[in-house]
């Protein structure tokens, strides 16, 4: 982006704001995402009071409002579909003009975030839970042991969508992405506190109430001793059938372990979900050939998790709760 005319309205407004804050042109260019010369030209143009030359825009403010309504009605349409609806509404503009106007409004085409579908009742329960926990302190959250299961696959299909290659290297093995029809995978159970992570458990079968209670007996209790010693703690797990079974509830009562009440479909409120993401990112360059090598890689990566990473994730709980309250129980960014 080397021309001032290529800057969008949002970028120009951002440049003006950062300039008033006293930021340098180099810093402004980095934050806005354009060249330093574009920033300099825009600032000089504004200082001299020069207006943009060229042909006047063919679309009016009314046309732009109509375009914004079309985009907001269904944000998953492509530019061609949006352009067609806009022209049907009586606006005479090319497809490229439609795209430019959308960019001027601040719209960008991005990969959507995937979140669980929440109905009204589930949102209300999430909101009620967040309001109940909004006054919890960092010391109270440090007493919670967060747990979860995660699936790890031997698959290199998501190692990046682009590759650097020369002409004629399309079939070069070093330039290919490998795909496996039925990749080997392992299911892992883990737990964490604000201080550290507990031991991992690799699940060999489908998790029912009986299997889950064995995991609790042989892995959760040792993790509690490791993370809390003889101190009291609160255990957290989601509402999976094996977790909410009557026999599992009885197991916790018999062992005198209190449970943290947890809203359904709330992975964004559980910091261990982000910990699994950290582990998978650290394994991005690993190339295990079978399930055993995959397990070894997971164990080695899990052992590299630092207390600082755990503490940072658990310390985010007040912010997660505040975000859930602000979203009125809907999904948050976490």
Q: What would the two tokens of residue 171 be?
A: 């079939």
Question: Above pLDDT 70, what percent of the chain?
Answer: 91
Domain identity same for 173 and 301: yes
Are the C-beta atoms of 304 and 176 separated by less than 8 Å? Answer: no
Q: Which residues constitute the domain of residue 286?
A: 120-326
Domain identity same for 138 and 258: yes
Residue 332 placed within a domain: no
DSSP 75: T
What domain count does the chain have?
2
Lowest mean pLDDT among 82-86, 103-107, 298-302, 305-309: 103-107
Provide Rg for the chain, Cα atoms: 26
- Rounded Cα–Cα distance for residues 244 and 248 (Å): 7
Residue 113 placed within a domain: no
Domain identity same for 128 and 63: no
Domain identity same for 167 and 269: yes
Residue 15's H or E segment, with its range, is helix 9-20
Looking at every residue in the chain, the average pLDDT score rounds to 88
- Rounded Cα–Cα distance for residues 219 and 147 (Å): 11
Lowest mean pLDDT among 68-77, 103-112, 264-273: 103-112
DSSP 326: H
DSSP 269: G
Domain identity same for 238 and 143: yes
pLDDT greater than 80 at residue 130 = yes
Dump pLDDT digits (tens) for 10-24: 888 889 888 888 889
pLDDT greater than 60 at residue 5 = no
pLDDT greater than 60 at residue 156 = no
* Over residues 225-234, mean pLDDT: 92
Residue 112 placed within a domain: no
Domain identity same for 25 and 168: no
pLDDT greater than 70 at residue 93 = yes
Domain identity same for 184 and 92: no
Dump pLDDT digits (tens) for 109-123: 887 888 888 999 999
Domain identity same for 86 and 146: no
Are the C-beta atoms of 254 and 221 separated by less than 8 Å? Answer: no
pLDDT greater than 60 at residue 67 = yes
Domain identity same for 90 and 147: no
- 3-class SS of residue 203: strand
Domain identity same for 100 and 166: no
Domain boundary among 104, 138, 168: 104
CB atoms within 10 A of CB 97: 17
Residue with the bigger pLDDT between 230 and 5: it is 230
Domain boundary among 74, 104, 134: 104
DSSP 194: S
Query: What are the DSSP calls for 250-291, one per residue?
Result: HHHHHHT--B----SS-GGG-HHHHHHHHHHHHTTT----SH
- Rounded to 5°, the CA angle 16-21-27 comes to 80
Domain boundary among 49, 78, 104: 104
Rounded to whole angstroms, the maximal C-alpha distance in the chain is: 79
Domain identity same for 138 and 201: yes
CATH at residue 125: 3.30.420.10
Residue with the bigger pLDDT between 9 and 275: it is 275
- Rounded Cα–Cα distance for residues 331 and 334 (Å): 8
Q: Find how far residue 1's CA is from the centre of its chain.
A: 28
* Over residues 130-159, mean pLDDT: 86
Residue 205 placed within a domain: yes
CA-nearest of 316, 284, 317, 314 to 301 is: 284
* Bridge partner residues of 235 (DSSP): 145, 259
Residue 136 placed within a domain: yes
Q: What is the pLDDT of residue 287?
A: 81
């Amino acid at each position: 982006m080397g021309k001032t005319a290529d800057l969008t309205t949002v970028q120009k407004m951002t440049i003006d704001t950062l300039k008033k804050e006293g930021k340098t042109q180099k810093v402004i260019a980095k934050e806005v995402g354009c060249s330093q010369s574009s920033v300099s030209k825009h600032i000089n143009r504004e200082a001299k009071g020069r207006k943009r030359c060229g042909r006047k825009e063919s679309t009016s403010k009314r046309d732009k409002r109509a375009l914004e309504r079309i985009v907001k009605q269904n944000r998953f349409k492509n530019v061609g579909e949006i352009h067609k609806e806009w022209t049907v509404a009586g606006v005479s503009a090319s497809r490229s003009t439609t795209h430019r106007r959308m960019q001027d409004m601040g719209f960008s085409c991005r990969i959507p975030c995937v979140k669980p579908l929440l109905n009204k009742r589930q949102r209300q329960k999430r909101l009620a839970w967040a309001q109940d926990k909004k006054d919890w302190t960092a010391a109270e959250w440090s007493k919670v042991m967060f747990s979860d299961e995660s699936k790890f696959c031997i698959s290199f299909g998501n190692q990046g969508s682009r590759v650097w290659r020369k002409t004629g290297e399309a079939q070069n093995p070093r330039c290919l992405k490998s795909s496996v029809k039925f990749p080997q995978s392992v299911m892992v159970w883990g737990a964490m506190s604000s201080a550290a992570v507990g031991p991992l458990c690799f699940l060999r079968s489908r998790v029912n109430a009986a299997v889950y209670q064995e995991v609790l007996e042989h892995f959760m209790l040792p993790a509690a001793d490791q993370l809390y010693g003889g101190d009291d703690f609160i255990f957290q797990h989601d509402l999976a059938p094996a977790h909410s079974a009557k026999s599992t509830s009885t197991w916790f009562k018999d062992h005198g372990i209190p449970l943290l009440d947890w809203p359904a479909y709330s992975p964004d409120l559980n910091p261990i979900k982000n910990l699994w993401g950290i582990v998978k990112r650290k394994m991005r360059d690993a190339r295990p050939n079978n399930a055993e090598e995959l397990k070894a890689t997971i164990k080695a990566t899990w052992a590299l998790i630092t207390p600082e990473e755990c503490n940072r994730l658990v310390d985010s709980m007040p912010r997660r709760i505040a975000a859930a309250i602000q979203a009125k129980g809907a999904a948050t960014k976490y």
